[in-house]
Amino acid sequence: MVAPLKVGIAGLGTVGAEVVRGIEQQGRILTARCGRGVRVVAVTARSRTRKRGVDLDGIAWAKSPLAVATDPDVDCFVELIGGDGDPALSAIEAALAAGKSVVTANKALIARHGLRLAKLAEQHGGALNYEAAVGAAIPIVKTLREGLAGTEVKRVYGILNGTCNYILTRMEQEGLSFAECLKDAQRLGYAEANPTFDVDGHDTAQKLAILASLAFGTKVAQSAISVEGISTIAPEDLRAAADLGYRVKLLGVAARTRTGIEQRVHPTMVPKSSSIAQVMGVTNAVTIDGDGIAPITLVGPGAGGAATASAVLADIADVARGVRVKPFGRPAARLRAIRKAPMERHEGGYYIRLMARDLTGTAATIARRLAERGISIESIVQRHPNAGMENGRASGASSPVPVILITYATSEDAVRQALQAVRRDKVISGRPQVIRIEKN
């Protein structure tokens, strides 16, 4: 019988407490699955006295994360502190440098320092596992790192932020505004007091940076991602999307294109029939398009103590079994640098919503400006703003009328130039709303 794996945990918030509980409750299963026991030997957290509902008797309390990481009794350092700098960073570095394995749920840290940490892990022979960093319990890191080892990935995209998907779902289902839904999300604890990190797309971007590296063998580089959030999405857009057979989701997309690897986060129209369109509320999902095979979609809880702990436990089990996979699937030294793909070069279909000042002649003007840039229109819908409303009344001749266009695949540059021309023509009021379409 091999000696048990001795685990040290830094950070005993919801996830940390669930991990301690899981190791205790699932001890027999873990032992059977790993061929050896798993034992928590040291922990640390900011407060020693906080009630956590788990038994910490017989577990050493260390004075700092670094002390856990460097404890000679610890084989595997589990970092659940969070934050992309110290104390998490130096503790992980110390553990890896000592040849220990590291398990972390820290997406920010992996997105920022992943490459350096991977090199350290490879050099000293420890594992660096971070399944919980993206999509919590969804086994997306394992799937890209191991499950598709022999398959060339063409595109990986997903709903990686539950807050945004919750807001968009409620906006769509109840016709509410972004601001109203955000407030509810905050009340329910789905959104932070300062929600910008989530709703502006940065949380999605950190996760996408990790997935892109695993899928394409590129260096994790959040700076190479074009990011737009969901705050500009209006209920009208969701209604129009529904009418046209689409839903709007905040997607992180990394795709191999003719001009290189494109990485982008933005509100996206997806066909209602796609797996990703079915994902509602706080649920996360990732779709992988492999060369020559139909898409694979993984759906599940993207956050929460138990879901995150489930991934952490699986990572610990891999360490206990002696599994050592390169942190990014390939040697860190061979990951390729990636440059930000200019969005002007993006090619795809577009949804455009304009407010036409006066319909006489406006449609013709818009159509001409698009045609000048070689953009073909798949569908055009213009509707009286009050049409279908029970208390609708004829609006004055001066009220702008919404015009909604769906284009065939074209370049973003062409769309931007055409819309600039339309604005110069002074036939529309306000800024056009533009949403990219992602086909499955």
Nearer to a second copy, 2 or 409 (CB): 2
Question: In the set 290, 373, 417, 425, which binds a second copy (CB under 8 A)?
Answer: 290
Per CB under 8 A, which of residues 134..153 are in contact with a second copy?
A: 137-139, 142-143, 146-152
| Cα–Cα separations (whole angstroms), residue 386 to 166, 383, 402 | 27, 8, 11
Site string for a second copy, 401-430 (x = CB under 8 A): ------------------------------
Question: Which of 183, 207, 326, 426 is flagged as catalytic?
Answer: 207
In what order do the strands lie in the sheet containing 76-79? 60-61, 38-44, 5-10, 76-79, 101-104, 128-129
* Distance in Å, CB of 251 to a second copy, minimum: 17
* Distance in Å, CB of 37 to a second copy, minimum: 13
Per CB under 8 A, which of residues 48..107 are in contact with a second copy?
A: none
CB-count burial class (<10 Å; 0-12, 13-18, 19+) for 130: buried
Question: In the set 10, 17, 20, 30, which binds a second copy (CB under 8 A)?
Answer: 30
User: Binding to a second copy by residue 294, rule CB under 8 A?
Assistant: yes
Site string for a second copy, 301-340 (x = CB under 8 A): x--x-xx-xxxxxx-xxx--x-xxxx--xxx--x------
CA-CA distance, 125 to 324, in Å (whole number)? Answer: 8
CA-CA distance, 18 to 3, in Å (whole number)? Answer: 24
| Alpha helix (H) residue ranges in 244-358 | 305-321
| Alpha helix (H) residue ranges in 178-287 | 178-187, 196-199, 202-216, 235-243
| Cα–Cα separations (whole angstroms), residue 212 to 139, 293, 429 | 15, 19, 39
* Distance in Å, CB of 150 to a second copy, minimum: 3
Question: In the set 32, 179, 193, 397, which binds a second copy (CB under 8 A)?
Answer: 32
Question: In the set 131, 203, 237, 438, which binds a second copy (CB under 8 A)?
Answer: 131
Q: Residue 79: what are its φ and ψ, rounded to 5°?
A: -100, 115
Cβ atoms of 365 and 427 within 8 Å: the answer is yes
Nearer to a second copy, 147 or 385 (CB): 147
| Strand-pair partners of 380 | 405
User: Is there a catalytic annotation at residue 207?
Assistant: yes
* Distance in Å, CB of 339 to a second copy, minimum: 21
**Positive/negative CA dihedral, 34, 40, 43, 47:** positive
Residues that bind a second copy (CB under 8 A): 22-23, 26, 29-30, 32-35, 131, 137-139, 142-143, 146-152, 217, 273, 275, 278-280, 283, 290-301, 304, 306-307, 309-314, 316-318, 321, 323-326, 329-331, 334
Residues with active-site annotation:
207
